[in-house]
Amino acid sequence: MNLALQQGYGVVSKSGFTPGFDGVDGSLREFRVGSVKVTSTARQCVLRVSDRGGLRRRVGGKESGGVEGGRCSSSRPRSVTARASLLQGLGGSLKEGYVLKNHGIVDETTEVESTGDVIEKLKKGFKHFKDTQYNQKPDLYAKLAEGQEPKVMMITCADSRVCPTMLHGLEAGEAFIVRNVANLVPPCEGSGEHHGTSAAIEFAVTVLQVERIVVMGHSNCGGIKALMSRDTYSGDFVGSWIRIGLPAKKKTLSLFSGKPFQEQCTFCEQEAVNVSLANLLTFPFIEERVKTGKLHIYGMHYDFIEGQLTSWEIEREEVPIHA
Ligand SMILES: [Zn+2]
């Protein structure tokens, strides 16, 4: 399962065994982009601000509140006028014919309807989080308002069944997480394209200085199924992305050519993780830190059918010295 790794590295088996919001003032702003008829040449911007002003949070025994220009104002209560002027500037990059409809701010005091609508569910979920987490851990959220110092970066699939913060019992601030199709890491390349995953890796390693990177695959991965079943990988975004895993497909077909497709996919899900681990080592700032022991990289596979987690890690091989 480790042929994707470059010479000098081996796999060590260790078998054994997740919200976006304003972390400074602990509220959730919600917008919906709608299509409208624009009757004049000037873009219309409709923003109805709903704010009950004066809501404050208690941090370390002191009241604080108010966000102006994205910075926390420690002494003044939240200003409706300031927030309104902040919101008025949003949405300028929308194409003509679209405006923002502001739904206001959600916090623990907001009345949320029970319509069964998924957006209402998100708002209710946030209210629950505010009550049971944010308000209960003022020291943690005050510290997180100052900055983040996660020790681990996780790269997992965007699949809705794979939720790393929930699976691993992580608190806010503990893990820097990137989720993409089939949890793939591309090789280091400077093509100047939109390298979202590579940018996140660069930031996590060189700025946040995480000490561990975990790439976690999972059972029944649709991205891996597509990788295994497709003949061509051009013409759409998914195809050009999942082709990163082609070395894993090649390895799978060389070992499991006569086996059932499901079995092939299970193997490929894990070998694609190793392709990603190998690609991590193509980033010079990663290999340098791995060589000096400052960074360790791990593979995991979450099987949600059996309810199991398998893990392994990359270690440098001892190279024998020949006289
Ligand atoms: Zn997946």
Q: Which residues of the chain have pLDDT under 70?
A: 1-8, 10-25, 29-88, 323
Alpha-carbon span 74 to 81, nearest angstrom: 17
Nearest of 19, 61, 26 to residue 131 by alpha carbon: 26
Q: How far is the CA of 245 from the centre of ligand 1 (A)?
A: 12
Return the pLDDT at 175: 98
Cβ–Cβ < 8 Å for 245, 184: yes
- For residue 186, the surrounding DSSP H or E stretch is none
Residue 156, beta-bridge partner list: 179, 216
221 is in an annotated binding site: yes
Q: pTM to 2 decimals? A: 0.77
pLDDT of residue 167: 96
Identify the bridge partners of residue 157 per DSSP, sorted by sequence position.
Answer: 180
* Token pair of 288 as six digits: 């340098």
Instruction: Please give the distance, rounded to the nearest whole angstrom, from the Cα atom of residue 180 to the centre of ligand 1.
Output: 8
Query: What is the distance in A from the centroid of ligand 1 to the CA of 227?
Result: 11
In angstroms, rounded to a whole number, what is the distance separating the alpha carbons of residues 101 and 218? Answer: 38
Token pair 């793939």: residue: 184
C-alpha 309 – ligand 1 centre gap (Å): 15
CA of 149 to the centre of ligand 1 (A): 27
Give 227-244 pLDDT, tens digit per residue. Answer: 999 999 999 999 999 999
The reported pLDDT for the residue numbered 70 is 33
What three-state secondary structure class fits 99? Answer: strand
pLDDT for the residue 34: 55
45 is in an annotated binding site: no
- Distance (Å, whole) CA 104 – CA 265: 45
- Ligand 1 centroid–CA 209 distance in Å is 27
**Residue pair 216/273 in contact by the 8 Å Cβ criterion:** yes
Give how far Cα 114 sits from Cα of 108, 119, 123, 124, Å.
Answer: 15, 10, 10, 9
Measure 296 CA to ligand 1 centroid, in angstroms.
23
Q: pLDDT tens-digit profile of 83-135? A: 656 666 777 788 888 888 888 888 888 888 888 999 999 999 999 999 999 99
Distance 155 CA to ligand 1 centre (A): 11
- Identity of the residue numbered 299: G
Class of domain 9-20+146-316: alpha beta
Q: Is 236 annotated as a binding residue?
A: no
Is 194 flagged in the annotation as binding?
no
Q: Where are the domains of the chain?
A: 9-20+146-316, 28-106
Strand 57-59 to strand 62-64: parallel, antiparallel, or no bridges (unpaired)? antiparallel
CA distance 118 to 239: 30
